[in-house]
């Protein structure tokens, strides 16, 4: 039986009870509109933890004023089915009012890894992410929390804040799940028109060409407007240096009104 909890207090009580019973707790934070990428996170959490909570919250604080908060897809009935099938035990489904009641005035900020790429182009976005993830992990107190590598810079932000705030929660990054044609799964893919959808897999294909050729290939995608394609040190998000151990090539591309991101590991 999938439990639905709607307030931070109820989530904390559930988590405390499971901990008293000796269960390990896995946590999968989402904004709903769940797809196979989310399902893979939930299945992994269910393999590794005795109890799994999926949070579904379209977090207003991480959307800019001109972004797609209002039209972001809300598909709770389908999400519930996917959660149950993938092995979740509870859904945390708070209202904006429960998360940010009147008078709310606290912000969690991470510097450094948030400076370039998404952070430079979406002012306030990572403050919104850091604040909501801190709240979720504090209330849920999981042993492990699962994040997809599609939002690779977000994953770095979450690793940083979990370490810095002593959350005592392992942050598990999981590989990008792709459609058969290579398009990274995203709740925003459903915004795409048929012609945009046809062009979208070219983002991944361009990244696969490597840092030298990706930019030119991106510019040739029909109807696409390149936001950035950049190679960074995967830990610091600065320019790679000779000391860099892991390099990551990241891109953001607009197809019509839809902004898509993707990234790939670049072996040194």
Catalytic residues: 38
Which span (27-35, 137-145, 192-200, 239-247) binds its own copies, by CB under 8 A?
Answer: 137-145
- Verify binding: residue 38, its own copies, rule CB under 8 A: no
Binding residue (CB under 8 A) for its own copies from 139, 145, 192, 260: 139
Q: Quickly list DSSP for 42-92.
A: HHHHHHH-SEEEEEE---GGGS-TTSSTTTS---HHHHHHHHHHHT-SEEE
From edge to edge, which strands make up the β-sheet containing 3-5? 3-5, 90-92, 51-56, 25-30, 144-148, 170-174
For the CA atoms of the chain, what is the radius of gyration?
Answer: 18
Binding residue (CB under 8 A) for its own copies from 14, 33, 54, 130: 130
Read off φ and ψ for residue 82, nearest 5 degrees: -60, -40
- Verify binding: residue 31, its own copies, rule CB under 8 A: no
Euclidean distance between CA atoms 104 and 115, whole angstroms: 25
Binding residues among 238-267 for its own copies as defined by CB under 8 A: none
- Verify binding: residue 6, its own copies, rule CB under 8 A: no
Residue 54 or 184: the one with the smaller Cβ distance to its own copies is: 54
CB 252 within 8 A of CB 246: no
Task: Work out how close the CB of 32 gets to its own copies at its nearest, in angstroms, rounded to a whole number.
Answer: 20
CB 224 within 8 A of CB 89: no
Which helix H or strand E contains 152, and what residues bound it? Answer: helix 152-164
Which span (50-58, 82-90, 134-142, 203-211) binds its own copies, by CB under 8 A?
Answer: 134-142
Residue 22 or 212: the one with the smaller Cβ distance to its own copies is: 22
Binding residue (CB under 8 A) for its own copies from 67, 96, 104, 190: 104
How long is the chain? 268
Which span (39-47, 68-76, 156-164, 249-257) binds its own copies, by CB under 8 A?
Answer: 156-164
Task: Enumerate binding residues for its own copies (CB under 8 A).
Answer: 8-9, 12, 16, 19-20, 103-113, 130, 134-135, 138-139, 141, 160-161, 164-168
């Amino acid at each position: 039986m999938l439990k639905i909890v709607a307030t931070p207090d109820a989530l904390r009580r559930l988590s405390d009870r499971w901990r008293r019973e000796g269960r390990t707790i896995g946590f999968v934070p989402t904004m709903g509109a769940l797809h196979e990428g989310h399902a893979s996170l939930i299945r992994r959490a269910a393999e590794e933890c005795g109890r799994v909570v999926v949070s579904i919250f379209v977090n207003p604080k991480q959307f800019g004023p001109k972004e797609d908060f209002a039209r972001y897809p809300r598909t709770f009935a389908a999400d519930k089915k996917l959660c149950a099938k993938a092995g979740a035990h509870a859904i945390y489904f708070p209202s904006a009012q429960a998360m940010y009641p009147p008078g709310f005035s606290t912000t969690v900020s991470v510097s450094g890894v948030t400076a370039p790429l998404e952070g430079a182009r979406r002012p306030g976005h990572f403050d919104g992410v850091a604040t909501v993830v801190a709240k979720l992990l504090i209330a849920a107190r999981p042993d492990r929390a699962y994040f997809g590598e599609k939002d690779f810079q977000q994953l770095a932000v979450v690793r940083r804040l979990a370490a810095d705030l002593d959350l005592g929660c392992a942050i598990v990054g999981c590989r990008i799940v792709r459609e058969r044609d290579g398009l990274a799964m995203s709740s925003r893919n459903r915004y795409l028109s048929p012609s945009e959808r046809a062009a979208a897999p070219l983002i991944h294909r361009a990244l696969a060409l490597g840092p030298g050729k990706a930019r030119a290939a991106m510019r040739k995608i029909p109807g696409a407007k390149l936001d950035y394609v950049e190679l960074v040190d995967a830990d610091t998000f600065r320019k790679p240096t000779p000391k860099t151990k892991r390099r990551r090539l990241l891109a953001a591309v607009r197809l019509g009104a839809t902004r898509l991101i993707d990234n790939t590991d670049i072996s040194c």
